[in-house]
Structure 1
Amino acid sequence: MQPARVRAAAYVTRSVPGGRELLVFDHRDSPEAGTQVPAGGVDAGELLTEAVLREITEETGATGITMGSALAVQQRPHPQTGQPQVTVFFHAQTTETRDTWTHTVASQDGGQDNGMVFRCYFIPAEQAVALLADNQGEFIHLVKRPGTPATT
């Protein structure tokens, strides 16, 4: 049996009058990939929190990121290869003021996303489940509003 690929994903939110918005992106040149949140593989020796911050920066260029806690773990086969993968979902908040922008990936290691162009934008968080590809919205209900006590 092949070991699972470990990934980290982020629900990056901001508070605006009227509610909470979630940062998402679309691939300019691969619309079939669907709308996504920042996510990607964890490098050998890399902490999950380091990986998720790297993915947020590489894929969106968003600023003012404050990391929150891990929310949930998703275990499912990769949608194209069928190989096992485990994704740890985190919550992060941003003070990003842009509503929409285009970001070109410039990964430090020249990774597979290098040069991809993403259209980044915010959506109302409650739309995430219906909009996000590959069940990425599965845990959005775990994101707490600021000032809401965490449950134990």
Structure 2
Amino acid sequence: MTSRPQMIINVLQANPDEQFTARQLAQKIIDHYGAELADKRQNPRFASDDDFLSQIAAEVGGGRTVQVKAMCPQVMTRDKPRPRLFYWGKEIDNGVQQESSFGFAPTPSAETVNFSEHALYPLLIEYLSEEEQLLCRRIDEKRSSNNKGL
């Protein structure tokens, strides 16, 4: 019998160019693994097929996502904007990672992750000035006060 995480991996791998919500992915799992899920479907707490689909969707979107990502690094999720989408991500070919067809930004490097919030303000102000023609100033929290009560 195939485990739920392996079912998720197999369905995403079979559909590498598609993104699925948890409910859509659950429907694909039910369609593909209906025979293996027949015993679970017989549980009396599932009064309808919709109840059963909701349970499988909850399993897909729950803690199994962490298991699936640990088992297979090609399984990717996009959390924002909602709803969470599941898709088959980067392929590893000859030791070089290739970008998926969805055009997501690459993983940040160690250089960009080490910026402090304070160091990012000048970069943000410069960007807003050049790209959006905005004049921005940073409020110094140490010297500012709200003595007017606004």
TM-score by length of 2: 0.24
More strand by share: 1
Higher RCO (C-alpha 8 Å, min separation 6): 1
More helix by share: 2
TM-score by length of 1: 0.24
- Structure exhibiting the larger radius of gyration computed from Cα positions: 2
